[in-house]
Amino acid sequence: MITSYPLARYRFDFEITRLLRLPDYAGSTLRGVFGRALRQLACVTHAKNCQGCPLRRTCPYPAIFEPLKPETTSLRNISTVPVPYVIEPPTWGTRDYAPGEMLSFGFTLIGYVQQHLPLCIMAWQRAFARGVGTGDGTAELLGVNSVEEENDGQEILRSIYLPGQHLLDHPQHTQLPTGTPSERITLQFDTPLRLQQDGHALPPSKLTARTLLMALVRRASLLAEIHGGKRLYSTEEFSELAEHAQQITSHHHLTWRDWTRHSSRQRRTMQLGGCIGKWQLSGNLTPFQSLLRLGSWLHVGKEASFGLGKYRIIEE
Q: What's the pLDDT tens digit per position in 282-311?
A: 999 999 999 999 999 999 999 999 999 999
Closest CA to 34 of 75, 74, 65: 65
Give the pLDDT score at 134. 87
Section 62-69 average pLDDT:
93
Q: Which residue has the higher pLDDT, 95 or 268?
A: 95
Instruction: In whole angstroms, give the CA distance from residue 243 to residue 248.
Output: 9
Phi and psi based region of residue 111 (left: phi greater than 0; alpha: psi -120 to 50; beta: remaining)? left
Instruction: In whole angstroms, give the CA distance from residue 93 to residue 157.
Output: 25
Q: Among 31-40, 178-187, 217-226, 285-294, which is the least confidently predicted range? A: 178-187
176-205, pLDDT tens digit by residue?
877 667 789 999 999 999 999 888 889 999
pLDDT of 94 above 60: yes
Say whether 100 sits in a helix, a strand or coil: coil
Say whether 182 sits in a helix, a strand or coil: coil
- Is residue 158 within 8 A of residue 167, CB to CB? The reply is no
Instruction: In whole angstroms, give the CA distance from residue 291 to residue 233.
Output: 12
